[in-house]
Amino acid sequence: MDQNWENFLTPYNQAVEELKIKLKGIRKEYSRSNMHVPIEFVTGRVKPVNSIIGKAALRNISFKDLETEMQDIAGLRIMCQFVEDIHEVVKLLRNRNDMKIIEERDYISNKKESGYRSYHVVFEYPVQLIHGEKKILVEIQVRTLAMNFWATIEHSLNYKYQGEFPDAINVRLKRAAEAAFQLDEEMSQIREEIQEAQHLFSHNKRTAINK
Q: Could you say which of 37, 90, 119, 154 contacts ligand 0O2 (CB under 6 A)?
A: 154
Closest CA to 146 of 169, 177, 173, 175: 177
Using CB under 6 A, which of the segments 3-11, 127-135, 148-156, 168-176 binds ligand 0O2? 148-156
Q: Please state, in angstroms and as integers, the Cα–Cα distance from residue 191 to each residue in 8, 43, 183, 185, following that order.
A: 44, 24, 12, 10
Smallest gap from Cβ 40 to ligand 0O2, in A, equals 18
Rounded to the nearest angstrom, the gap between the alpha carbon of residue 92 and the centroid of all alpha carbons in its chain is 14
What is the per-residue binding string for ligand 0O2 in 171-200, x denoting contact by CB under 6 A?
------------------------------
The whole-angstrom separation of Cα 71 and Cα 68 is: 7
* 113 annotated active-site: no
- Among candidate residues 18, 104, 124, 139, the one labeled active-site is 139
Smallest gap from Cβ 43 to ligand 0O2, in A, equals 11
SS3 56: helix
Q: Which of residues 91-120 bind ligand 0O2 (CB under 6 A)?
A: 105, 112, 114, 116, 120
Using CB under 6 A, which of the segments 6-14, 36-44, 150-158, 187-195 binds ligand 0O2? 150-158
Smallest gap from Cβ 116 to ligand 0O2, in A, equals 3
Smallest gap from Cβ 193 to ligand 0O2, in A, equals 31
The whole-angstrom separation of Cα 202 and Cα 155 is: 34
Residue type, 178: E
Neighbours of 7 (CB within 10 A): 10
Nearer Cβ to ligand 0O2 (101/194): 101
Residue type, 44: G
Q: Could you say which of 22, 55, 87, 191 contacts ligand 0O2 (CB under 6 A)?
A: 55
Closest CA to 177 of 99, 110, 98, 114: 114
Beta pairing, strands 119-129 & 41-46: unpaired
Q: Please state, in angstroms and as integers, the Cα–Cα distance from residue 210 to each residue in 4, 198, 203, following that order.
A: 53, 18, 11
Q: Is 51 in the site for ligand 0O2 (CB under 6 A)?
A: yes
* Sites of contact with ligand 0O2 (CB under 6 A): 47, 51, 55, 72, 105, 112, 114, 116, 120, 151, 154-155
* Residues acting as catalytic residues: 139
